[in-house]
Amino acid sequence: MTVPEPGLDIIKSVILGVVQGITEFLPVSSSGHLVLFQTLFGMKESMLSFDIAVHAGTLLAVLIYFRKDLFVILADFGKFFLPCVCARGKPGPQKLWFYIFLTLVPTGMAAVLFKSKIEAAFSDLGLVAVAWLVMGCVLILSRRFQDGRLEMTGMGWLRAVGVGTAQAVALLPGISRSGSTILGGMVCGLRREDAAKFSFLISIPAILAAIVMDLKDGGLSYFTSHAAETVFGFLAAFISGYVVIRWFMGVIQKGKLFIFGYYCLAVGLLSLVLVKYIL
C-alpha cells in the first residue's frame, strides 16, 4: 500500500475524526466527506489506512451503544454452536447473527473484485460528487416509502443478502453506507427503526473485515509512522460518533430520513464547483 505524503498533523486528524464521527451514521457518506476534506487539506495521495482508523473509532461507538443487543446476539450465536453449554437463558433473536454475516457475502465480493477501483475513487472528488448527487435523489424519493412491518429477526436470508448488496454499493465514496442499507432494509419491508439498527449492526463485521484487509496489505506501517495522528483521529471519531448515533435514532423514528437528501445534493454540487473552478 502506498504511504501518503506528509501533510497530516494532529489538528487535521482531529478534524477528520470529527467529520467521520458525525457523518458515519448520517446518510451523507462519511467516506465522501473524508475525500472532500482531504482534498481541501491538499492530501493528494490515498489515505485509506487513516480512513479505516477513524472508521474503527465509530465502530467502537456502535459496540458501546448497541452493547445489550450484541450480548443477546452473541448468546444466540453460542446456543447455535454450543447447545449443551449454552442451553439455559432467555432465547435470543434467532438467526440474526446469521443474517448479519450474510450481508458480508456481497460486500466482501465487491471489496475483493473492485479493490483497486474503490481505492482510486478515494482520490477522485469529481466521482464522489456524482455519487453524492445520486444518493441525494434516492434519499429524497425515500419519503414515498411506507414504514414496513417486519422486525429484523424475521427478515429472512434473501432480504439479508439484499441489504448486503446495498452495503456493497456503498463501498464507493459518496454513497452512504448507512443510507443505502437503511433504505435497502425499508425496501425489504423492515420497520424504519429495525432497518436502522440492522444497518448499524452489520457495520461491525464490515469495518472489522476492512481493518484486517488493510493490515494485511501493509496498513500497519502507516499506523506506526503516524501513531499520534491516528490515535487522535480515532478518539475524535469515537466521541462524535457516539453522540450522533443517539440523536440519529430519534430522527429515524420520526421518518425524516429524506431531509438528508437535500444536504447530499448541496454538498455534491459544491464538490463539482470545487473540482471545476477551484481545485
Tell whether 115 is covered by a domain: yes
Tell whether 132 is covered by a domain: yes
CA-to-CA distance for 232 and 177, rounded, in angstroms?
24
Cα distances (angstroms) measured from residue 205 to each of 15, 136, 200, 265: 26, 26, 10, 30
**Cα torsion 140, 143, 146, 152: sign:** positive
Cα distances (angstroms) measured from residue 20 to each of 30, 37, 208: 5, 10, 16
Q: Which residues contact 204 (CB under 8 A, 6 or more apart)?
A: 59, 62, 63, 70, 100
Phi, psi of 127 (to 5 degrees): -65, -40
Tell whether 251 is covered by a domain: yes
Tell whether 4 is covered by a domain: no
Q: Where are the beta strands (DSSP E) in 126-266?
A: none
Tell whether 111 is covered by a domain: yes
pLDDT score for 259:
93
pTM: 0.82
Domain count, the chain: 1
Reading the chain (279 residues) residue by residue, the pLDDT tens digits are 333 344 678 888 899 899 989 988 899 988 888 888 878 887 765 566 777 788 889 899 999 999 988 888 888 777 766 665 454 545 444 588 889 989 999 998 998 898 888 888 888 889 999 999 999 999 999 888 877 889 888 888 999 999 999 999 999 989 999 999 999 999 999 998 899 999 999 989 888 877 777 666 655 666 667 788 888 999 999 999 999 999 998 888 888 889 999 999 999 999 999 988 876
**Cα torsion 178, 183, 188, 190: sign:** positive
Tell whether 1 is covered by a domain: no
pLDDT score for 39:
81
Give the structural domain span for 201.
10-278
Q: CA 22: distance to chain centroid?
A: 11
Tell whether 2 is covered by a domain: no
Tell whether 3 is covered by a domain: no
